[in-house]
Amino acid sequence: MTRTVYLNGAWFPETEARVSVFDRGFLFADAIYEVTAVIGGKLIDYYGHAARLQRSLSELGIDCPLSEASLLDVHRDIVRRNQLDEGLIYLQISRGVADRDFAYPANALPTLVLFTQAKPVLNNPRSETGLSIATLPDWRWERRDIKTVQLLYPSMAKMEAMRRGADDAWLVQDGLVTEGSAATAHIVKADGTLVTRGLSNALLHGITRASIIDLARNAGMVVEERAFSVAEAQQAAEAFITSATNFATSVVQIDDFIIGDGKPGPIAGSLRELYTETCLATAI
């Protein structure tokens, strides 16, 4: 099926949407993005993603081409036009088109693109088996809190993890896990405490992370927001990742260490259930 994509105020069949070779997203990775899950044709955790989008734009001094209300309308419209039941919406805003120059152009109009990807989010087979993770150095830049399209290193890390026989990578700086290649990393201690890295410029401020922490605290769990080492993760009772596209998915192996009994753990499982229940109830 040919998708309908949104580009700068108009709708196109996916094969006909065109962006200039001078777009700063293409030349400088001068662009930010968001990924929002869709289930049953509804948007999951939408307001969190919309708020982080505004934050990323303001950190880079890019104007949002649409009002908040219009942005929501476009999200709803793209779901409807593509009859998307389950999957995700990818949104990207670049600073726009200008002749190549390291200095930001004065009056470029931002380029806004949205497209959909249909895929299983709830019934992702990986949620049954759990993931194996390879740890790799975090060689990204130091503003990982901005959700930019500079995804070459995460992509290289994922490829290296797969070459080592793992599903994905966790990135490590000074012996401490920053996050996954495209997800937040969490562990659960033997006493049931959830440990997740505190927010800083070192990692993306995950929207799913925020919801999971709230749910865990409301369920009476102790949550420690602090960095943890690879060794601590390898000895943890459970480990898992969160993201818009994974919800909460267990990690059952980190490098050569099997986590727990090598099966998805009960606490990650119950957080996944809680998150699914809550986000379906609040989907818009």
Verify whether residue 189 is a known catalytic residue: no
Please calculate the CA angle 198-34-114 and round it to the nearest 5 degrees: 180
Binder to ligand PDD among 108, 209, 259, 260 (CB under 6 A)?
209
Which one of residues 56, 148, 208, 249 is an interface residue with ligand PDD (CB under 6 A)?
Answer: 208
To ligand PDD, the closest distance from the beta carbon of 207 in angstroms equals: 3
What amino acid is encoded at 100 in this protein? R
* Residue 56 lies near ligand PDD (rule: CB under 6 A): no
Task: Tell me the C-alpha distance between 282 and 276, whole Å.
Answer: 10
The least distance separating ligand PDD from the CB of residue 37, rounded to whole angstroms, comes to 8
Q: Which stretch binds ligand PDD (CB under 6 A): 18-26, 57-65, 181-189, 232-240?
A: 181-189
Beta-carbon contacts of 168 under 8 Å, excluding residues fewer than 6 positions away, are 131, 133, 134, 158, 161, 180, 181, 182, 183, 241
Q: Which amino acid is at 19?
A: V
Q: Is 243 in the site for ligand PDD (CB under 6 A)?
A: yes
Stretch binding ligand PDD (CB under 6 A), from 70-78, 220-228, 237-245, 272-280: 237-245
Residue 245 binding ligand PDD, by CB under 6 A: yes
* Sheet containing 42-43, strands listed edge to edge, beginning at the edge strand earlier in sequence: 10-13, 4-7, 111-118, 87-94, 31-39, 42-43
Coil, helix or strand at residue 46 = helix
Confirm or reject binding of residue 127 to ligand PDD (CB under 6 A). no
> Which of 43, 182, 252, 259 touches ligand PDD (CB under 6 A)?
182
> What is the nearest approach in angstroms of ligand PDD to the Cβ of residue 106?
30
Pick the catalytic residue from 42, 147, 158, 263: 147
Give Cα 242 distance to the centre of its chain.
8
Hey, CA dihedral for 205, 126, 116, 95, is it positive or negative? positive
C-beta of 97 vs 246, nearer to ligand PDD: 246
Residues carrying an active site annotation: 147
Chain positions contacting ligand PDD, by CB under 6 A: 35, 179, 182-184, 204, 206-209, 242-245
